[in-house]
Each structure stands twice: as structure tokens, then as C-alpha cells.
Amino acid sequence: MSKKILITGASGLVGSQLTEMLLQKGYQVVHVGRTKRAGIPHKKGASFVWDVNRQEFDTEALNGVDVIINLAGAGVADKRWTDSRKRELLESRTKSLALLYKTLSTTNHQVTAVISASAIGYYGFMGNEVFTENSKPGTDFLATLTKQWEAEADKLASLNIRTVKLRIGIVLSDKGGALIEMAKPVRMFAGSPLGSGKQNLSWIHIEDLCAMFLKAATDETLRGTYNAVSGDWVTNKEITKAIGKVLNRPVWPVHIPAFVLNLMLGEMANIVLQGSKVSADKIKQTGFEFKHTTLEAALKSLKL
């Protein structure tokens, strides 16, 4: 019997593709989300509802589940970071994991592993340092959020459940996310580097990320934290140019000034104006093999 994998936040960018991949490989998939939907493709698998704020979970969802993949969280770049939005970004993540902890500690189940999303935002944004899983966390909003998010995931390990956190970089997909937003101005003949253009972007192709979630779910030697990045970081200027090349559009040498982006986006502008170099060595040492190792090849494989 193939493993049964429960995914939270499965309706999103990563969850949708991960579900397709798992079903194709013969895994059983169960979704848990804020609303019941026909989210599972081809009517395979079931969809259950949880209420993170009220800490309610339909325990029927756990029937026969071996592994939980936790992807839930309000979209970091979806809305301006007001105080209440910042609280939502944090609590949608910490309360989701707290609900999983509460449920798994009070219900009969056979879950042996929880694989939780985390983010390279953990490290903060620094010039040329290459961050490894042992690097210290940053001090900005996203770093503080990610630290608290991971601390909630760590509590699951105390239930004798194998726990893995994937610190995800910028996910390259043609179905949504950062790449689609970066490509929009380029497609409109208005592509320019942002700010200095020198900020580093540590990316991962969505196919590799989904494969990494599967490895973490099935390889019992994986525990703790792994950076989910390709290891081929590029600058904002380089990726803007690469997108221009794929779309056959010019990229102008005039940069969009940082103050304009700060005015438009407020503190959220940090996501595009700053960056970090993040190492993929630890996951490679587990034997994980990337399919997409260079930006150019990754972009060519996507339908931009």
C-alpha cells in the first residue's frame, strides 16, 4: 500500500503541483484547508476543513495518514504589511502548526513524519555571506516570523514524530508566485532592475521543490532543517535580464529606485530590494539530485 500524505494549505502554488506529482507517483493524498473544495485533481483523495483560529480539526482527515506536509500560511507578498497583516502572516503559520500539535497529541494516529514549509527569510538579508542551515537568524520582520514558525514545528518533534523544515527560496513556477510578477513588466516592455539590482536571489524550480518534499516525506534519515534552494543564486539584474531573454524583450539599464518601491510597497519592499545567498550543500549531501541547476535552463523549462 502506498503512503498516504496529508497536505495543509494544498490549494496554493506549491500544494497544487505537489498534489499532482504525488498522485502521479501513486501516493494517496488528503487535503486539509480553510474551505472544503474539489481541490484534489481527478477526484482522487478527500478534502477536509480545519479552522486555525478556532483551533478545530476534523480528525477523520488523519485516517491512515503516514506523513503530513504543512504548507499553510497567508501570502507574504499578497498585501501591504500593516500591523494586523503582519499578525496574520505570523499567526496563520504558528497557529496552523499549533493545531497540528494539539491534534496529534490528543488523537490516535499513525503519522510518523511532519514536513513543514519554512523560508530562507529566516536568515535576514545580508550582503555576501553564504547562509547555511547553521547560520544565525536575522532580525527583520520576516526573520523573526520564520524563527517563530520553525519553533512551532520543532514542538512536533517532542511527540516522537520525525520533523523536517524546508527553508524555501524563491519558487520559480509558471503558475504564479514571484516569477510571474517579475515577468509582467518585462512582457510590457518595461523591464528594469529593482533598486541596486545587485541583491541576490536564491531560487528553486517548483519541480525540484516538490521532489524535495517527497524526499523529506519518504527518506527517514532526513530530520531538522534543510535549505530548499538550487544553490545557483543570481542578482536581481541577472534574473530580470534572463527573463527578458526568454520573453524576447529588452531590459532597460535605468533601475527602478528603491525609494519608489518603498513608497509603493512600504516595508514589504524589502522582499524585492534585498536578498541573500543560500547554500544547497546540506540537501545535496543527502543524495538529493536537482533537475534544474542553472537559472537559464530553469526559465526555459517554464512557460512564461
Ligand X SMILES: NC(=O)c1ccc[n+]([C@@H]2O[C@H](COP(=O)([O-])OP(=O)(O)OC[C@H]3O[C@@H](n4cnc5c(N)ncnc54)[C@H](OP(=O)(O)O)[C@@H]3O)[C@@H](O)[C@H]2O)c1
- Please count the residues of this chain forming the interface with ligand X, following the rule CB under 6 A: 26
52 binds ligand X, rule: CB under 6 A: yes
Interface stretch with ligand X, choices 59-67, 164-172, 270-278, 293-301 (CB under 6 A) = 164-172
Considering only 3, 9, 233, 283, the residue that binds ligand X (CB under 6 A) is 9
**CB contact at 8 A, 156 and 107:** no
- Least distance in angstroms from the C-beta of 49 to ligand X: 9
Q: What is the pattern of x (binds ligand X, CB under 6 A) and - over residues 103-122?
A: --------------x-x---
- Least distance in angstroms from the C-beta of 61 to ligand X: 13
CA-CA-CA-CA dihedral for 34, 39, 43, 48, to nearest 10: -10
Considering only 5, 14, 69, 100, the residue that binds ligand X (CB under 6 A) is 14
* E strand or H helix at 116: strand 113-119
Please identify the residue of the shown chain whose CB is closest to the bound ligand X. Answer: 12
Sheet holding 4-8, edge to edge: 56-57, 46-51, 28-33, 4-8, 67-70, 113-119, 162-168, 224-228
Angle value at C-alpha 158, between 96 and 30, nearest 5 degrees: 40
17 binds ligand X, rule: CB under 6 A: no
The residue whose grid cell reads 531538522 is 224
Taking the least distance from each CB to ligand X, the nearer of 137 and 255 is 137
**CB contact at 8 A, 68 and 96:** no
203 to 222, contacts with ligand X by CB under 6 A? none
170 binds ligand X, rule: CB under 6 A: yes
Q: What is the DSSP string of 51-77?
A: ETTTTEE-GGGGTT--EEEE-----TT
Query: Which residues, at least 6 apart from 92, have a Cβ–Cβ distance to it below 8 Å?
Result: 52, 72, 73, 74
Considering only 114, 171, 212, 295, the residue that binds ligand X (CB under 6 A) is 171
92 binds ligand X, rule: CB under 6 A: yes
Give dist(CA 151, CA 135) in Å, integer. 16
Q: What is the pattern of x (binds ligand X, CB under 6 A) and - over residues 72-91?
A: xxxxx-----------x---
Give dist(CA 280, CA 230) in Å, integer. 6
193 binds ligand X, rule: CB under 6 A: no
Q: In the complex, which residues of this chain contact ligand X (CB under 6 A)?
A: 9-15, 33-34, 52, 71-76, 88, 92, 96, 117, 119, 168, 170-171, 177-178
